[in-house]
């Protein structure tokens, strides 16, 4: 606290990102990064872009990237907005589309940046509890006044997804308010709602290149929606930073989007490892929520979340734990390589047997 702070800064509760420690040989399964590198074509494009042209500002509209995304999703390039990570796209969305007279609705257990943005932009919120199985129950969203809705699909940190027809039903049930679907983890088993944007003027779909395209270090995310929604995001962006994506990020992201083959191979490897890890955890007595993401959310009935987190950490395996009601005994474990997951399972086996 300082008397020089503005009142809004004093009231903020900043998001706490997962640790990025510099410990040698750490098995890092705490921030849902992709264990496989980005497309070699993305690296080559990045290297090619590292030239004298860096003295010039980048394309403020990221035209080539937006066109590549439009082709990939079968939409028009003016239906695509890009930003510095999907966190920035989300931040602009909160400000541009989610602040209204009636409250914004989102699940009580969800991406913890949502409460942070709501505070930053002073947005009135109602958190809708997940059901006993940690599922989003869409009928709960119909029963109260609402100015906008945001839901991650699959949800984080549960990993549980909704079917695309459920997203459609949600958009259809709330035609007068923006409905935003945060699809950060959609490529690991869900079905994107991108194909619905033509029919639902209230639907905005947000994705990231950080997870399924292994570019967390590049910071690129995007939104798909009808022109009036994209316009709102552009108005905020152009009141904030004209060049959120530098030349290198634009080049790498465009090549990554175009390399469908690399994308497919990596995501299939992660899905296979996730299903194996889920099965082995269950065999050891862990409860595992059915995940459609590149992580699993799990607990052991006889061990506290804090206990398992610390024991794993002591053995050089880093996972994510939240000291929050309902989920304090759960751990979110990102899916790494098979070797990393084997190390995780080895440590957990000793704990589960001892417990």
In the complex, the residues that contact ligand PMP under the rule CB under 6 A are 85-87, 111, 152, 156, 182, 184, 208, 210, 216, 221
Q: Of 216 and 284, which has the nearer Cβ to ligand PMP?
A: 216
Report the nearest approach of ligand PMP to the CB of residue 112 (Å): 9
- The answer to whether the beta carbons of residues 20 and 241 sit under 8 Å apart is no
Q: Could you tell me if residue 289 is left (phi over 0), alpha (psi between -120 and 50 degrees) or otherwise beta?
A: beta
Q: Of 216 and 345, which has the nearer Cβ to ligand PMP?
A: 216
CA–CA dist 258, 70 (Å, integer): 11
CA–CA dist 340, 345 (Å, integer): 9
Residues in contact with 13: Cβ distance below 8 Å, sequence separation at least 6, in sequence order: 115, 116, 119
Instruction: Give strand pairing partners of 104.
Output: 125, 148
CA–CA dist 76, 113 (Å, integer): 29
Q: Of 35 and 152, which has the nearer Cβ to ligand PMP?
A: 152
Q: Of 91 and 277, which has the nearer Cβ to ligand PMP?
A: 91
Report the nearest approach of ligand PMP to the CB of residue 128 (Å): 16
Report the nearest approach of ligand PMP to the CB of residue 111 (Å): 4
User: Quick one: DSSP state of residue 320?
Assistant: B
- The answer to whether the beta carbons of residues 254 and 203 sit under 8 Å apart is no
Report the nearest approach of ligand PMP to the CB of residue 12 (Å): 18
Report the nearest approach of ligand PMP to the CB of residue 90 (Å): 6
Q: Of 213 and 299, which has the nearer Cβ to ligand PMP?
A: 213
Q: Of 246 and 307, which has the nearer Cβ to ligand PMP?
A: 246
Each as own residue / partner, the long-range contacts of residues 49-56 (CB below 8 Å, 24 or more positions apart, any chain) are 49/247, 49/248, 49/250, 49/251, 49/252, 50/248, 53/247, 54/247, 54/248, 56/247
Report the nearest approach of ligand PMP to the CB of residue 55 (Å): 28
- The answer to whether the beta carbons of residues 141 and 174 sit under 8 Å apart is yes
Minimal CA–CA distance to 295: which of 308, 318, 315, 278? 278
Report the nearest approach of ligand PMP to the CB of residue 152 (Å): 4
Q: Of 220 and 232, which has the nearer Cβ to ligand PMP?
A: 220
């Amino acid at each position: 606290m300082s008397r020089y702070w503005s009142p809004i800064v004093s009231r903020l509760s900043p998001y706490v990102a997962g640790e990025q420690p510099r410990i040698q040989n750490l098995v890092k399964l705490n921030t849902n990064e992709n264990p496989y590198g980005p497309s070699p074509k993305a690296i080559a494009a990045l290297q090619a872009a590292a030239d004298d042209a860096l003295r010039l500002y980048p394309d403020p509209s990221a035209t080539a990237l937006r066109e590549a995304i439009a082709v990939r999703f079968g939409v028009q390039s003016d239906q695509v907005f890009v930003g510095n990570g999907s966190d920035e796209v989300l931040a602009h969305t909160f400000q541009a589309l989610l602040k209204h007279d009636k409250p914004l609705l989102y699940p009580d257990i969800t991406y913890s940046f949502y409460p942070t943005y709501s505070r930053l932009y002073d947005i009135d919120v109602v958190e809708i509890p997940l059901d006993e199985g940690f599922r989003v129950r869409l009928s709960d969203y119909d029963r109260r006044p609402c100015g906008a809705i945001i839901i991650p699909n699959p949800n984080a940190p549960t990993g549980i997804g909704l079917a695309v027809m459920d997203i459609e039903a949600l958009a259809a049930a709330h035609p007068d308010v923006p409905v935003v679907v945060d699809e950060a983890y959609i490529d690991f088993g869900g079905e994107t709602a991108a194909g619905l944007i033509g029919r639902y003027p209230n639907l905005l779909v947000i994705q990231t290149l950080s997870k399924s395209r292994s570019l967390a270090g590049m910071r690129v995310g995007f939104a798909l929606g009808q022109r009036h929604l994209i316009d709102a995001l552009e108005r905020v962006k152009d009141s904030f930073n004209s060049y959120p994506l530098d030349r290198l990020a634009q080049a790498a992201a465009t090549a990554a989007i175009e390399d469908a083959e690399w994308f497919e191979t990596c995501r299939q490897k992660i899905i296979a490892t996730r299903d194996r890890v889920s099965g082995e955890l269950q065999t050891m007595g862990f409860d595992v929520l059915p995940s459609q993401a590149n992580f699993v959310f799990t607990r052991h009935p006889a061990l506290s979340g804090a206990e398992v987190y610390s024991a794993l950490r002591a053995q050089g395996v880093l996972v994510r734990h939240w000291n929050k009601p309902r989920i304090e005994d759960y751990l979110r474990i990102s899916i790494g390589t098979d070797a990393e997951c084997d190390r995780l399972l080895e440590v957990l086996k000793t704990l589960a047997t001892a417990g």
